[in-house]
Every structure is written in structure tokens, then in C-alpha cells.
Amino acid sequence: MGRRYYCDYCDKSFADNPTHRKNHLKGVQHQRNKKAHYDSFRNPEIVLQDELSKRPCKNFLSSGTCNFMDNCKFSHLTDKRRTELEKLVEEKQRAKEQKKRNLEDDEAPDKKLSEWLSKRLKGEVKVNEEEKAPLLPVYEIPPHVAQIPNPPPSILPPPQDVLRGLNFVDWG
């Protein structure tokens, strides 16, 4: 049957040869579908500003179609589409404001932490004695190492009494 080319923009497939592919890629329908696809990713604020800056297309308003469609210099913005774009712009504005508020709230923990640390240094915050005592690690010997008759000292865990005598540095 031969190789077939599938166009994602047009949702079509056809015999894949240079002539057919070139004709399809230069076709009006393919160009419209491609532009519509990429326009769907444009910023709604910019789309709304562009469309509101243009005068409405008389042919599009009267008949619902325009011979020039994407190449028309007038706006084809319907009331429904305009309300959709305005909602998207409002949601984006709210998201920006929420993000800004979250950033302001995120600064607060740094201030709280620095206040707590300064109080701790001054001795105003009491630290439990349990928190001061370092937790000693618990070592387990893997079963295959335990079966070795005389394992080298580098494999064996250190004795607990050696760790108790060490001074641990307080890191804050």
C-alpha cells in the first residue's frame, strides 16, 4: 500500500510523496488549521487586545462567514468568544494575585524563623533536654556479613560506648 502521511492539524492522512505533501502543506485548509492550533496557545490578554483594537467584520456579523477568514483585517470576535476571553483574562489576573499573596506569605516564615533563632540565642526559648541529647545510630549487620567467621573491622559497626563519648556540634 505504501507509506502514508498523517497531518495532526487537519486530522487527515494521504499517500506520502513529495508532491502530495507539498500541496497539502501549502493548502488553505491546512494553513487555517495550523494557525488555529497555534492561536489556541496565545496569551488570552493579547488576543483580546488585538481583536478589540480592530473594527468588526460586516460580512462575518451578517452571514457568520467571511471570505478572508484568517487573513481578514477586521475582527471576527463573537460575543460568546469575547466573554470566554474576558473570563480567561480575569482568571489569569486572579492567579497572579494569588501567587503574589503566596510569595508574601512565604516571606513570613523566614521572619518567624529568624525571630525564633534570635530568641533561642538569647535564652528566651527553652529547648527540651531530650532534643539536646543526640540520637545515636543503630547499626544492623546484614545476614550475609554475619555468616562470615572473622569479618574485617571495617565491616563491623563501631561499639556504642565509643559514640557516647564524642562531642557533637550543635548545627543550629
| pLDDT tens sequence for the chain (172 residues) | 578 999 999 999 999 999 999 999 999 889 989 988 888 888 888 888 988 899 998 988 888 888 887 778 898 888 898 899 899 899 999 998 988 887 766 666 667 777 778 877 777 666 555 555 556 777 888 888 888 888 888 888 877 777 766 776 666 5
How many CB atoms sit inside 10 A of residue 163's CB?
14
* CB of 70 closer than 8 Å to CB of 30: no
- Whole-number mean pLDDT of the chain? 82
Element (H, E) at 116: helix 79-122
> For 35-60, how does the pLDDT look when each residue is reduced to its tens digit (9 = 90+)?
888 888 888 888 889 888 999 989 88
- Secondary-structure breakdown of the chain: helix, strand, coil percentages, each rounded to the nearest 5: 55, 5, 40
**What domains are defined for the chain?**
1-41 (3.30.160.60), 44-120 (no CATH)
Residue-wise over 10-32: b if at least 16 C-beta within 10 A, else e?
beeeeeeeeeeeeebeeeeebee
How many CB atoms sit inside 10 A of residue 69's CB?
14
pTM of the model: 0.45
